[in-house]
Amino acid sequence: MAEQILGIRGLDVAAKGVPILRAVDLEIGAGEVHVLFGPNGSGKSTLLSAIMGLPPYVVSAGEIRLGGERIDGLAIDERARRGIGMAFQRPPAIDGVTVEDFSQTLGSADILHREAASLDLADFAARHINVGFSGGEVKRWEVFKLFLQDPRLLLFDEPESGVDLEHISAVGDAINRLMRTPNRAGEARSALIITHTGFILDYIEADVGHVMIDGHIVRSGEPRALFESIQKHGYKTMQP
């Protein structure tokens, strides 16, 4: 059995006093890619935010562990230092901070110049982060940002949304390349990927799929089989 990287037990999450997630259990092993399906408003993005520690989401019950260490009481920066990186669905623009500045601060300038062309970002070094980026450029940058941050656990919030078909392939290839490359400490990476359209499954090597409905994970299994069932029958047949 693969070493457990992410362990979630009995997780309840609320935002501004409103319950969103209830009794969520999830385990991801070293080197595994898990995908999370679900209708809009089912709590998928809330789960990623809770793992990353983003406000206004508050863990009201249960626990989140990274490599066996409980992290649900840690600040965002502490979780990042322990090896969690997130590619956001709608990241902010950061005027005044260039891609080159960002990579140098992380000590990853060599990665910037070696890998940027793979995501059609070779001329982005002097651009300010997400300022004037198209929707597709934002998504490609969010994936490339993880190359620079070098996390062990990768969280992707709908990496294919707003990306044309040509660049979905590039995004998928980049995710696969990240997964095949150990981090600087020599540790295998793991990933949790939210997908609404399912298109990303054509381009990534996923191990396990999960379906979230109304704040619960109601089904887990082989990713492609789950998605084909959703396409054919919708989410109504996904209850356990």
Task: Dig out the tokens for 22 from the structure.
Answer: 């209830």
Position 128 in a domain: no
Q: How many domains does the chain have?
A: 1
> Mean pLDDT, to the nearest integer, of 6-12?
98
Residue in 188, 204, 219, 202 with CA at minimum distance from that of residue 36: 219
Going by C-alpha positions, the residue among 170, 162, 172 that lies closest to residue 206 is 172
Residue 151 in domain: yes
Question: Phi/psi of residue 177, each to 5°?
Answer: -65, -40
Q: Is the pLDDT of residue 230 over 90?
A: yes
- CATH code where residue 198 lies: 3.40.50.300
Sign of CA dihedral 40, 56, 136, 121: negative
For residue 1, the model assigns a pLDDT of 54
Distance CA 139, CA 7 (A): 27
Q: Is 116 a domain residue?
A: no
The answer to whether position 23 is within a domain reads yes
Confirm whether 112 is domain-assigned. no
Residue 126: inside a domain: no
Q: Choose the weakest-confidence range: 9-18, 101-110, 229-238.
A: 229-238
d(CA 139, CA 107): 22
Q: What domain range includes position 206? A: 4-92+135-238
* SS3 label, residue 110: helix
Which SS3 state, helix, strand or coil, does residue 12 take?
A: strand
Average the pLDDT over 1-9 and give the result: 89
Residue 125 within any structural domain of the chain: no
Contact yes or no for 32/223 (Cβ under 8 A): no
Tens-place pLDDT, residues 66-97: 999 999 999 999 999 999 999 998 899 999 99
Low-confidence winner among 4-8, 47-51, 99-103, 110-114 (lowest mean pLDDT): 110-114
| Pick from 62, 192, 120, 138: nearest CA to 70 | 62
Q: What percent of the chain has pLDDT above 70? A: 99
Which whole-number Å values give the CA distances from 196 to 57, 88, 93, 161, 174, in the listed order?
A: 21, 14, 24, 8, 19
- What percentage of the chain exceeds 90 in pLDDT? 78
- Give per-residue pLDDT as tens, 161-220: 878 877 888 889 889 999 999 999 999 999 999 998 888 999 999 999 999 999 999 999
Output the six-digit token pair for 101: 């500045």
What pLDDT, in 10s, does the model give residues 96-125?
999 999 999 999 999 998 889 888 898 999
> What gap in Å lies between CA 29 and CA 211, rounded to an integer?
18
Q: What is the dihedral of CA 83, 55, 193, 22, to 10 degrees?
A: 110
Burial class (CB in 10 A: 0-12, 13-18, 19+), 40: exposed
Residues 221 and 209: beta-carbon distance below 8 Å: yes
- Half-sphere exposure (CA, 13 Å, Cβ side) for 137? 14
Mean pLDDT of 153-157: 97
Q: Chain-wide mean pLDDT for the chain?
A: 93
